Amino acid sequence: MKYSNMKNVAEKIVMPEDMRRRIIANCKLEISQTRKDSIMKKNKMFKRPAAVFAAMAICLSLSVSAMAASGMLKGFFQDVKRPDGAVVGTTYEQATDEIALKVNVDGDTLIAVASFTDKAPFIAEEMGIGDYQIVDGSGKVVKDGSYTEYTKIIDGKAEIKINLSDIDDGSYKLVVNSFVAYNKADQPLPVSGDWACNFTK
């Protein structure tokens, strides 16, 4: 693979900015040492682009492995870009392990309780559900919804209500693909992940 192709692939890897900075710093140290070793050995066969990519791949692998082992590999912020490259917003990706979801039913209302499993990874005063589905026991989608009303986050929890008056009594599953966090004076923040809870109406 050509160096330019390897560089393009590496630049497309999505990761948190602080993780990217640590990897670059580690790679610079590795590349510097590789250059010193090369000069000392007077190795004329040394190919700098290949060594740079190899060092970057080693650093990335070690950093990701270390973060995964320490449980630090969590959600991350990502810019939303237009086709021309202009940044038009931000999302928070892979929040499945950072937000817990529980549900209960009160008459014709499903109350979805979203709570942060640890310290909130973003600032928000209110939260709603972005995209969700209600699925019956056979896997059929009986309700496909989006953008519930925002509710206040109190003690790290938001109780979000979904109307069930258009659904027959029975056993179902709520499947949530995203939440939306809201803070005054800021754009709503889409929060993606995978959540599912069974309930009976």
Domain with residue 178: its CATH number is 2.60.40
pLDDT for the residue 150: 95
> For residue 87, is pLDDT > 80?
yes
What are the pLDDT digits (tens) for 7-44?
454 555 655 565 555 555 555 544 455 555 555 554 44
Cross-strand bridge partners of residue 77: 92
Q: Provide the pLDDT for residue 119.
A: 86
Percent above pLDDT 70 for the chain: 64
pLDDT for the residue numbered 45: 42
Do 184 and 95 fall within a single domain?
Answer: yes
pLDDT tens for each residue of 97-153: 999 999 999 999 999 999 999 888 888 999 999 999 999 999 999 999 989 999 999
pLDDT at 105: 97
Looking at the structure, tell me whether residues 60 and 145 fall in a common domain. no
For helices 17-41 and 48-70, the axis angle rounded to 10 degrees is 140
Query: Can you give the pLDDT at residue 118?
Result: 86
CB under 8 Å, gap of 24 or more: what pairs does 28-31 form?
30/55, 30/58, 30/59, 31/55
- In one-letter notation, the amino acid at residue 9 is V
For the ranges 35-44, 45-54, 59-68, the lowest mean pLDDT is seen at: 59-68
CB 92 within 8 A of CB 121: yes
Confidence of residue 70 (pLDDT cuts 50, 70, 90): very low
User: Does residue 167 or residue 47 have the better pLDDT?
Assistant: 167
- Do 54 and 102 fall within a single domain? no
Q: Are 105 and 182 found together in one domain?
A: yes
Kindly state whether residues 45 and 108 are assigned to the same domain.
no
What tokens were used for 67?
Answer: 């973060």
User: Are residues 112 and 68 both part of a single domain?
Assistant: no
The pTM score is 0.62
CA distance 99 to 106: 22
Q: Are residues 15 and 66 in the same domain?
A: yes
Do 134 and 44 sit in the same domain of this protein? no
Q: Among the three residues 19, 43, 73, which one is the final residue of a domain in this structure?
A: 73
Convert the pLDDT of each residue in 169-201 to its tens digit. Answer: 999 999 999 999 999 888 999 999 999 999 999
Nearest 5°: CA angle at 130, between 163 and 132? 55
Tell me the backbone φ, ψ of residue 130, rounded to 5 degrees.
-80, -70
Q: DSSP strand E in the chain: where?
A: 76-81, 87-93, 99-106, 109-116, 126-136, 141-146, 151-152, 157-163, 171-182, 189-200
68 or 125: which leads in pLDDT? 125
Q: How confident is the model over 62-73, as a mean pLDDT?
A: 40
Number of domains in the chain: 2
Both 140 and 67 in one domain: the answer is no
Statement to judge: residues 58 and 142 lie in one domain: no
Whether 80 maps to a domain, the answer reads no
Residue 103 lies in domain: 89-200
DSSP-assigned letters across all residues of 135-183: EETTS-EEEEEE-PPPEE-BTTEEEEEEE-TTS-SSEEEEEEEEEEEE-
Same domain for 34 and 98, yes or no, is no
pLDDT recorded at residue 63: 39
Which 3 state secondary structure label does DSSP give 102?
A: strand
% of residues, the chain, pLDDT over 90: 52
